[in-house]
Chains A and B, each alone.
Chain A
Amino acid sequence: AQSVTQLDSHVSVSEGTPVLLRCNYSSSYSPSLFWYVQHPNKGLQLLLKYTSAATLVKGINGFEAEFKKSETSFHLTKPSAHMSDAAEYFCVVSDAGNMLTFGGGTRLMVKP
């Protein structure tokens, strides 16, 4: 069985400061991992994905995430937050023969 835990339900940062959204996963196989972003009343947009290639993955809008197998983590980071980054973020895991499993989400708030 696989599971995803997003360690913070809410994160608040000031504009221009770094963003860190934490995600830990559990999987029986070598997983694929994804981060999605959801703006209010919108669908989910894929930010980035890890599929067993480079452990540091770069995504859209300046986001990146690092796959750390020893820590079973896939934290999402961005060097400098922008007001438009305010949204809900979901960490997702997919392993062999299984469905996507979503974390509970982290709401990112960006203060001016």
Chain B
Amino acid sequence: SQTIHQWPATLVQPVGSPLSLECTVEGTSNPNLYWYRQAAGRGLQLLFYSVGIGQISSEVPQNLSASRPQDRQFILSSKKLLLSDSGFYLCAWSVSWRNTEAFFGQGTRLTVV
């Protein structure tokens, strides 16, 4: 069966520090991968998605970036965190591009102080 791992679960970082959140999927090949952010009291915002190694699409301009160094690994990064980067970050994967559900990791609660 397929599983998705996301870590760390919680993170407190000072403003201006770098960020690296990692997500890996097991039990499937060539998944579509996604990073979402959920700010307090708000819905989900798609940040990045990837349909293959090295293929990253950004949905919103910001100081975050994403990389996919391996087929089932998706990394969210920042060189310098802002206070506004605080939120709940969710990684997800799906089998194919069209009309299919996504499966979510357990999320990372990021607090920038």
Contacts and interface: CB of A to CB of B under 8 A. Distances in A.
B107 A46 contact: no
A95 interface: yes
Given A90-B43, A94-B98, A99 B49 contact: yes
B43 A49 contact: no
B49 A42 contact: no
A32 B103 contact: no
Contacts of A100: 46, 94, 101-102
Contacts of A49: 101
Nearest to B97: A97
Interface string A29-66: 00110101000011111100101000000000000000
A46 B101 contact: yes
A104 B44 CA distance: 7
Contacts of A95: 99
A34 B109 contact: no
Nearest to A30: B99
A67 interface: no
A103 B88 contact: no
A44 B90 CA distance: 9
Interface string B38-49: 000011101001
Interface of A: 31-32, 34, 36, 41-46, 49, 51, 90, 92, 94-100, 102-105
